[in-house]
Chain A
Amino acid sequence: MKHHGGLTQIELSGITGLSPATVSNIVKELVAAGVLATTMSTRSGRRAHQVTLARALGLVAGVHFSERHMRVALADVAHTVVAEQHMPLAKDHRADNELNRAAQLITDMLESVDATHDEILAVGLAMPAPMNVSSGIITRTGIMRGWDGVPVAESLGIRLNSPVYVDNNANLGALAEYRTGALRGKPNSLYISVDEGIGAGLILNGEVFRGHNGTAGEFGHMVLNEDGALCRCGNRGCLETLVGGDAIIDSVRAGRRGLKLHDVVVKAIGGDAASIRAIADAGRHLGIAAANICNVLDPDRIAVGGELSQVASCYSAQCGMPWNGP
């Protein structure tokens, strides 16, 4: 139930291998214990008992930091989002400020749903950097300068008085797309986040694959040209130096100060030739890099998210980023 959010009793029977009668008895027992709740729903024209975790168990919070955005949400344990906020972040934001703001947003949202901090059971934190999941520290300095050496899970946990679990944002993107999105039913698949930074989350044999150090999927730091431009990670010629937000903005900046990646995307959708060209070039580099991953892992499906993926649905032909429907 934790993984799936809501299931019918028939689906529970299929997943667990237990008989429908056994499932029905266990569900009744757990409803009586206040752990599960059931509602009537209609599936394929038939009425069925939909089973979820009981909302009264408590709340969880999700926090997602990206290079230029913060998103925060409260949800019940049945995965229903009950409050959500997002705000832009300054470039090169710093841990202390932003963790304070995230904690304040969560406090405000708790008030808005008439709840208290005591009701938060756990917080999930998505960070746009390779994370040491046990220490909660970014594993490579320089990738998010204002966050270097900060134990982010512990720091946010102290502010909220709740346990905080941190992981790389692309890993968590892969988890979400695999559970409820474009990668559902695809146990060997890949989620690529194409935003200011570039990352990938790997689903292998139905699990998020984190690798030996927890840093698997650092797609943006795949070296494509060892004599190329310096990357923020300290290496040269990473994919991100070709298709990251800064690279795309630099290639179309002429005379346009303060340009953001979002502006380039809007301009491309509006028909601006330089923006279309910059994104088409990025698409080509991304395709080559994705092929390299495919040659190693042979995934069934790749889902692309992040700011740049928005171009695809509006402007696929011109930008050379066509998609198959899921």
Chain B
Amino acid sequence: MRHAMERAVIVGPDRAADLVQSQLGARTELLGAISFAIDQLTIGTESTTAQAVS
């Protein structure tokens, strides 16, 4: 995959994107779903906190 990609990128092989394996493995998308759910929460005094910060 890397070899084919490096041959075809305009920037050339030296500046091509790093190609790495996922670190979270088979659970990557499940953990993403959990993060996404937490992102949607309005927690406790979130609006009050925003005022306190500003």
Q: Contact partner of B1 among A61, A173, A284, A313, CB < 8 A?
A: A284
> Cβ of B4 and Cβ of A125 under 8 Å apart?
no
Q: Is the interface of A mostly helix, strand, loop or mixed?
A: mixed
> Cβ of B23 and Cβ of A60 under 8 Å apart?
no
A72 to B44 alpha-carbon distance, docked (Å): 26
Q: Contact partner of A323 among B2, B25, B53, CB < 8 A?
A: B2
Q: Which residues of B contact A180 (CB under 8 A)?
A: 23-24, 31
> Cβ of A16 and Cβ of B53 under 8 Å apart?
yes
- B1-54, CB < 8 A from A: 1-11, 16-41, 43-45, 49, 52-53
How many chain-A residues does the 8 Å CB contact rule pick out? 82
A275 to B53 alpha-carbon distance, docked (Å): 57
Minimum CB–CB distance from A9 to chain B (whole Å) comes to 15
Q: Which residues of A contact B33 (CB under 8 A)?
A: 62-64, 124-126, 167, 172
**Number of A-B residue pairs with CB-CB distance less than 8 Å in the complex they form:** 232
- A97-140, CB < 8 A from B: 121-126
A3 to B33 alpha-carbon distance, docked (Å): 12
> Cβ of B20 and Cβ of A302 under 8 Å apart?
yes
> Cβ of B44 and Cβ of A287 under 8 Å apart?
no
Q: Contact partner of B11 among A61, A172, A298, CB < 8 A?
A: A298
Complex interface bits, A71-107 against B, C-beta within 8 A gives 1, otherwise 0: 1110101010100100000000000000000000000
- A156-198, CB < 8 A from B: 163, 165, 167, 169-177, 179-182, 189-191, 193
- A277-322, CB < 8 A from B: 283-288, 290-292, 294-295, 298-306, 309, 312-313, 320-322
Q: Contact partner of A305 among B8, B25, B38, CB < 8 A?
A: B25
Q: Which residues of B contact A266 (CB under 8 A)?
A: none
Most buried by A among B6, B20, B21, B32: B32
Task: Check A175/B36 contact, CB under 8 A, given A16-B53, A34-B44, A60-B41.
Answer: yes
Q: Which residues of B contact A179 (CB under 8 A)?
A: 35
> Cβ of B4 and Cβ of A284 under 8 Å apart?
yes
Task: Check A324/B18 contact, CB under 8 A, given A2-B43, A60-B38, A175-B35.
Answer: yes
> Cβ of A2 and Cβ of B39 under 8 Å apart?
yes
Q: Which residues of A contact B2 (CB under 8 A)?
A: 287, 321-324
B interface list, Cβ under 8 A from A: 1-11, 16-41, 43-45, 49, 52-53
Q: A175-B36, A294-B9, A312-B21 are in contact. List 6 more A-B contacts (CB 8 A).
A: A35-B44, A73-B30, A81-B31, A122-B40, A301-B19, A326-B18
24 sample A-B contacts, Cβ–Cβ < 8 Å, listed by A number: A26-B49, A35-B43, A57-B43, A61-B34, A62-B34, A64-B29, A121-B37, A124-B35, A126-B33, A172-B33, A174-B32, A175-B35, A288-B4, A290-B19, A291-B5, A291-B16, A294-B9, A300-B17, A301-B18, A302-B17, A312-B21, A323-B2, A323-B19, A326-B23
A interface list, Cβ under 8 A from B: 2-3, 16, 18, 26, 29-30, 33-35, 53, 57, 60-64, 66, 71-73, 75, 77, 79, 81, 84, 121-126, 163, 165, 167, 169-177, 179-182, 189-191, 193, 283-288, 290-292, 294-295, 298-306, 309, 312-313, 320-326
The 5 closest A-B pairs by CB, nearest first: A287-B4, A172-B32, A305-B22, A291-B8, A124-B37
